[in-house]
Amino acid sequence: MRRAVIAFTAFLGGLIFLLTSSTTSAWAEGEGLKGTLRNQSQPVNGVKISVVDEGGASVGDDTTDAKGEWAIPVPKAGTYKVTLDQSTLPQGVALKFKDKGSLTVKVFEGNERNVLFALVPAGGGQQGDQGAEAPPSESAQYWTRVAQLGFEGLSLGLIIALGAVGLSLIFGTTGLTNFAHGELLTVGAFLAFVLNAWVGLHLLIAAPLAVILAAGFGYAQDRYFWGVLRRRKTGLISMMIVSIGLAIFLRYLLLFIFGGQGRPYEQYVAQEGIQIGPIFATPKSLVAMGIEIAVLIAIGLALIYTRIGKATRAVADNPALAASSGINVDRVVRIVWAAGTATAALAGILLGVTQNLTYQMGLQVLLLMFAGVTLGGLGTAFGALVGSLVVGVFIQVSTLWIPPEMKTVGALVVLIIVLLIRPQGILGRRERIG
């Protein structure tokens, strides 16, 4: 029965994800070309981008803004040539491949195509220059890119893990597959934004306060909503569908309040990258990874050595037996909800530091969190960590062989293969049937 519920959940979740994704993308009507210029993870401002059609007629041009973003609408679906004016690049920035200043791309009906230009520090890895130093070999370039993508995948995997741990613990203690968990990341990120941009608190103060507020929101959710549904003996399928409705409500509430455009925090928007061996990284990304690792280690130690952690594992293993041994199951579940929401909010804040805040940011990582939880083992916190790291690293490294737009598909293919070999996940336990 439980396997049937999991299979139905996966099917329905994928269907709802596709439907909601197509619904939210309907806000951008018509065809267009867009992109973001970054050098060492920092936005590049003031670069001119122009577009012409197949006949060479000008379609339009745009200049990147302070976030490095540009967008040019096109009249219809078709093939277009996108050109970056290299003379407008700021000093110290150059195209990685000098012959790639113009790209020919195809735009499909109703699609806004993303166009990528690879930038590097001038004189540091630019291909095509005849300088005094010989350019690195293809093999060296390949392994440098592998190292960079592996680092970016580890960073993404840690964010996914931070959100997935709470999702896994909530499933383990209540059996609920919470499709609103992605919105908890978004709520946490925007709580910090309100305290930072509207109230005027520094992000280092706003972020901890937002995490505390998110923990209170999670506790209240179970106390006044999910707990009430459990006491009324509401079925897990019904509660899962309720969570989908709650996710849509929260998503569009955030859209109504904050709008559809991306919003940055007041601090740490742009930082100069540093090179560590073959890897380029910004200080904020290194600090974020340190925080994520520390929090995940703290959660693991708490589950193993603290009374509430042992009680949580007991409730996840057998709620009826835990209750008969004197454990207050409702209290444990509420603490799990508070902790899970707090970690999700922290993941959203750290994700918002590395990119702009949008009302869809939680939706964009929700499927990856489910993949990490399922891959690691349903209901296990440590499984969620391992599975999320595998998913994060794989989807970034896979861009060596597949287009970046398809990298999530590659992660799901790996998920399917692993579950065919080991259905319970990497750290999950086999269940006896009958």
Note whether 64 and 198 are same-domain residues.
no
- Residue 37, in any domain of the structure: yes
| pLDDT (average), residues 168-194 | 92
- H helical segments located in 123-235: 138-174, 181-193, 203-221, 227-231
pLDDT band at 136 (very low <50, low <70, confident <90, very high): low
CA 137 from centre of chain: 33
| Residue 34: closest CA among 96, 109, 121, 107 | 107
pTM listed for this prediction: 0.71
pLDDT at 152: 85
Note whether 296 and 414 are same-domain residues.
yes
Count Cα atoms within 13 angstroms, Cβ side, for 370.
Answer: 24
Domain of 316 in residue numbering reads as: 2-27+146-421
Note whether 319 and 412 are same-domain residues.
yes
Instruction: Report the number of distinct structural domains present in the chain.
Output: 2
Note whether 312 and 382 are same-domain residues.
yes
CATH number of residue 88's parent domain: 2.60.40.10
> Tokens standing for 122?
């001038």
**pLDDT one-digit tens code per residue, 310-324:** 999 899 888 888 888
| DSSP single-letter state for residue 57 | -
Q: Which of 128, 154, 173 is the last residue of a domain?
A: 128
- Residue 434, in any domain of the structure: no
Given the structure tokens 């209901």, which residue do they identify? 379
Do residues 381 and 343 make contact, with C-beta atoms less than 8 angstroms apart? Answer: no
Q: Round to whole Å and give the CA distance between 389 and 244.
A: 26
- Residue 431, in any domain of the structure: no
| DSSP single-letter state for residue 405 | G
| pLDDT (average), residues 177-204 | 94
Q: Round to whole Å and give the CA distance between 19 and 274.
A: 41
Note whether 114 and 172 are same-domain residues.
no
Note whether 338 and 201 are same-domain residues.
yes
Note whether 277 and 348 are same-domain residues.
yes
Note whether 246 and 209 are same-domain residues.
yes
Note whether 103 and 247 are same-domain residues.
no
pLDDT band at 107 (very low <50, low <70, confident <90, very high): confident
Note whether 76 and 174 are same-domain residues.
no
